[in-house]
Chain A
Amino acid sequence: MASIEPFNRLVRLAARAFYDDISMKGDNQPKTSRGDNRGMAVVVLDALTRRQWVREEDLAKALKLHSKQLRRILRFFEEEKLVTRDHRKESAKGAKAHNVAAAAVASDGPPVTKEGEEKIKMHTHSYCCLDYAQICDVVRYRIHRMKKKLKDELDSRNTIQHYICPSCNKRYSAFDALQLVSYTDEYFHCETCNGELVAESDKLASEEMGDGDDNVRKRRREKLKDMQQRIEEQLKPLVAQLERVKNLPAPEFGSLQTWERANIGAFAHGDPSVADSSRNSQGQYGTPMPYMGETKVEVEMLGDGVKEEGTESGKNGSELKVLPPWMIKDGMNLTKEQRGETSKASKLDEKSEAKDDKKQDSKDDQIIQEEYIKAYYEALRKKQEEEEAKRRMQQEGETIVSDSQSERQVGKKYKREDEDEGNATEQYKLADLNAEAQESGDDEDDYVWEEGSVE
């Protein structure tokens, strides 16, 4: 699941950098200072970072904007490729469906208004949503174009060179080059007086002031350089944020319909945690996140878990707090396997099983193997105990083993023994020895543990 916060930061930075002074005026609106709504664009973008798909009327209400005004801004952002919009005809019922989806998602958003939707008439409603992936591209492209334009002007790139004859002041352009070539030297020569032509520098200067005054040219150049510098400076945070976001998967809400379906589905469970898990299982698709705060925490926890598995450190104290002790047992075994300590054993186990398959009739072999495995698990158990002890030192006071949990473990063990009896073939027994040997060890551990925790 993608974290949305870096992307929201990007949007907010871009809004302030580029849409700060965008004024959304109607054509017939008087251009008085009162009608000046510059900055509104930023407000709208900011509001959208706190929402996903939102009905434009609701957004207008929340922002205390006239819906026409808001629509004008949104249309502008749609053209700027920052916002995706969707329009559809729907009855009040359909609108409610959206509200349900929105309620499943938003909670720091505006209170979802439900008034005036009792009419059965069909209305066209517009929805909008930020298109994060595209925003990244658009912002990057915009910065690139800005820089390139200035650089090209500074380098006088893509400009047609002009030449001037110092003696008769006749001007030529590079298009005349063929006629100006002299075969006696390396220069261009005037067609009328055969004077050596000089290149006229800077198209910009000549554009501004006619024939180039050196001072004007210099000033223009300085202005460009200054502009370049200011771009570097002022866009620094934005560029940094772009860089940060570059390798993150952009939040994807999907189309309005898919988003609604996903969120209604989550909501139907009625339990936010269930909704979360269902969203998780949806993987990439179910990205819709409720309010940003919770999502962030969720992501961080996920990240921690991964880290713990990866770093091979036994100090997973935070995990222990959450999980019941019997789970920790399993988890520990698991991590050990992951560390490759027991992997040898399990492989060996499989091997011996395979062998048994072949020589099921010869009991002697099996007895030897049984002995071997017992010995092996004994050794393994000792090792685990050592590990356990180490760990316990670290976790002291944090772990509490409740009776019910230890009971549950006993129950578990019995169950396995039952299974054992049920399928009393040698092979199964062998495989089960594993569990038995370990569990007997675990039992001991548990007792010690309990005492330890009581202390």
Chain B
Amino acid sequence: MFFHIVLERNMQLHPRHFGPHLRDKLVSKLIKDVEGTCSGRHGFVVAITGVEDIGKGLIREGTGYVTFPVKYQCVVFRPFKGEILEAVVTMVNKMGFFAEAGPVQIFVSNHLIPDDMEFQSGDVPNYTTSDGSVKIQKESEVRLKIIGTRVDATEIFCIGTIKDDFLGVISDPGAAV
């Protein structure tokens, strides 16, 4: 799920940036530092949409670096248990398949793949129905439901299922070409 939230961060800036463009420098550094990172609490920071407030800088003794407390608005992506996501398959093996929804990695184990889909090994390992009408392979797009998330300080990993109504392949690369 996406959220638009306000976060705070202490930014350290090298003294060489102190000048008329200090603020711009601070913002561009913030974007570079923060976008794409993941915090277990808030999820992945997708984009910074604005800077709300830059506090008074504090000079660090000895180094000359200055620490600014910065309040910024950003869009975060945090997957939840029970959420439905659309994801792209990245790897298929006998144990199930991996998929990505933006920055989130999701594993769907073979017992959460519908029973009528069988694993086929080969150059392009895949799960296929007996009549061959539905195929999950690398690059397939699937709709899945998250049944578990593991949130570390810097990483979120999800377990998904496609064994439920309206889940499964939404487009497969073979058919699209």
Contact = CB atoms under 8 A, between A and B. Distances in A.
A97 interface: no
Q: Most B CB atoms within 10 A — which of A159, A174, A178?
A: A174
Contacts of B148: 160, 174-175
19 contacts: A156-B111, A157-B161, A157-B164, A160-B147, A161-B96, A163-B95, A174-B109, A175-B150, A177-B107, A177-B109, A178-B98, A178-B157, A181-B91, A181-B93, A186-B94, A187-B94, A187-B95, A188-B95, A201-B111
Given A161-B159, A177-B96, 10 more contacts: A155-B163, A158-B161, A161-B109, A174-B148, A175-B159, A177-B107, A178-B98, A178-B105, A186-B93, A187-B95
Chain A at the B interface: mostly helix, strand, loop or mixed?
loop
B103 to A, nearest CB: 14
Interface string B55-82: 0000000000000000000000000000
A199 interface: yes
A450 B60 CA distance: 120
A149 to B, nearest CB: 14
B5 interface: no
A177 B95 contact: yes
Chain B at the A interface: mostly helix, strand, loop or mixed?
strand
A19 to B, nearest CB: 30
A177 B150 CA distance: 12
A163 B94 CA distance: 13
A-B pairs with lowest CB-CB distance, top 6: A186-B94, A161-B109, A177-B107, A186-B93, A175-B150, A158-B147
Nearest to A188: B95
A161 B111 contact: yes
Contacts of A158: 147, 161
Contacts of B112: 157, 161
Interface string A180-198: 0100001110000000010
B121 interface: yes
A157 B160 CA distance: 10
A187 B95 CA distance: 6
Interface string A151-175: 0000111111101000000000011
A186 B93 CA distance: 5
A175 B110 CA distance: 14
Interface in B99-135: 105, 107, 109-112, 119, 121, 125
Interface residues of B, number: 23
Interface string B24-57: 0000000000000000000000000000000000
A146 B159 CA distance: 25
A406 B110 CA distance: 86
Q: Most A CB atoms within 10 A — which of B91, B95, B157?
A: B95
Contacts of B121: 186
Contacts of A199: 95, 109-111
B167 to A, nearest CB: 11
A369 to B, nearest CB: 68
B27 to A, nearest CB: 34
A186 B109 CA distance: 13
B107 A174 contact: yes
B95 A160 contact: no
Nearest to A161: B109
Nearest to B81: A158
A178 B94 contact: no
Contacts of A155: 163
A360 B98 CA distance: 89
A160 B146 CA distance: 11
A187 B147 contact: no
A186 B94 CA distance: 5
B157 A175 contact: yes
Nearest to A179: B157
B105 A186 contact: no
A174 B160 CA distance: 10
Contacts of A157: 112, 161, 163-164
Nearest to B95: A188
A110 B161 CA distance: 56
A159 to B, nearest CB: 8
A156 to B, nearest CB: 6
A202 to B, nearest CB: 10
